[in-house]
């Protein structure tokens, strides 16, 4: 919804609302956000892209899982363990979609 311009104080409010409306929203667009650009709120479940460096038995790979960022560490929701910074590196995250609701 675009608000018409107004010369009074209401005009400034309308311009601000239009500017906010034009901002990209990670919630609605669900775009991957590199961890070098931003981190999620603490203790918020998100999707994470993890780069695994590999070891002598397992080749390097990239995978997606759910996790959260807490106390300067990434926590894996699947096993509730800290993502090992030696071999596993969270490289991007995105907000989870809203849960499915019956009748949709």
Q: Is the pLDDT of residue 44 over 80?
A: yes
pLDDT at 33: 97
Q: Is the pLDDT of residue 41 over 60?
A: yes
Backbone angles phi, psi at 46, to 5 degrees: -140, 165
User: Once rounded to an integer, what is the mean pLDDT over residues 64-93?
Assistant: 81
The b/e string for 21-56 (b: 16+ C-beta within 10 A; e otherwise) is eeeeebeeeeeebebeeeebeeeeebbbbbebeeee
pTM (predicted TM-score): 0.64
Percent of the chain residues topping a pLDDT of 90: 42
Give, as one character, the DSSP assignment of residue 20.
H
Residue 81's alpha-carbon distances to 28, 52, 55, 84, in angstroms, are 29, 15, 19, 9
Interval 26-35: pLDDT, tens: 445 689 999 9
What integer best gives the mean pLDDT of the chain?
79
């Amino acid at each position: 919804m675009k608000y018409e311009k107004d010369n009074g104080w209401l005009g400034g409010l309308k311009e601000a609302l239009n500017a906010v409306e034009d901002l990209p929203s990670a919630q609605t667009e669900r775009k991957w956000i590199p961890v070098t650009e931003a981190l999620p709120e603490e203790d918020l479940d998100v999707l994470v892209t993890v780069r695994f460096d590999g070891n002598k038995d397992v080749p390097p790979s990239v995978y997606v899982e759910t996790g959260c960022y807490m106390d300067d560490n990434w926590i894996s929701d699947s096993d509730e363990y800290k993502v090992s910074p030696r071999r596993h590196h969270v490289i991007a995250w995105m907000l989870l979609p809203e849960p499915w609701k019956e009748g949709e």
